[in-house]
């Protein structure tokens, strides 16, 4: 069975829009990832690699209303996501 560590994670992220910020712990331990837009968010490697987690800023700006992205973020991140901070960024983006 292949060893899963930070180098493994980097290989998995190669070619995606995401890079890791924190070192890999396990697939179910949240760490921070950085999207190519520059936004940093935390989720589990498993969720990101399974495409269950997405950059909240870009996902919102492309497809979603504030209400629906809040619901999705709450579901994915077990209500741990800092929505107030995210909302501020969303608002700034929509005013561009």
Residues that bind Zn ion (CB under 5 A): 35, 37, 39, 55, 57-58
**Least separation, in Å, of the C-beta of 44 and Zn ion?**
18
The CB-of-1 to Zn ion minimum distance in angstroms stands at 32
Q: Which is nearer to Zn ion, 4 or 34 (CB)?
A: 34
- Specify the residue, 57 or 69, whose C-beta has the smaller distance to Zn ion: 57
Place of tokens 């190519």: 36
Tokens 């495409």 -> residue: 51
> Which of residues 9 and 86 has its CB atom nearest to Zn ion in the complex?
86
Cβ-Cβ contacts under 8 Å for 89 (sequence gap 6 or more)? 39, 57
Q: Give me the helices (H) in the chain, please.
A: 6-13, 45-49, 56-63, 66-76, 83-94
């Amino acid at each position: 069975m292949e060893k899963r560590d930070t180098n493994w994670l980097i290989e998995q992220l190669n070619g995606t829009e995401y890079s890791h910020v924190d070192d890999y712990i396990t697939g179910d331990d949240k760490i921070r990832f950085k999207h190519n837009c520059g936004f940093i968010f935390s989720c589990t490697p498993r969720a990101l690699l399974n495409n269950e987690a997405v950059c909240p800023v870009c996902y919102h700006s492309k497809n979603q209303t504030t209400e629906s992205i809040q619901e999705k973020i709450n579901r994915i991140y077990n209500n741990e996501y800092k929505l107030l901070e995210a909302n501020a960024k969303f608002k700034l983006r929509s005013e561009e």
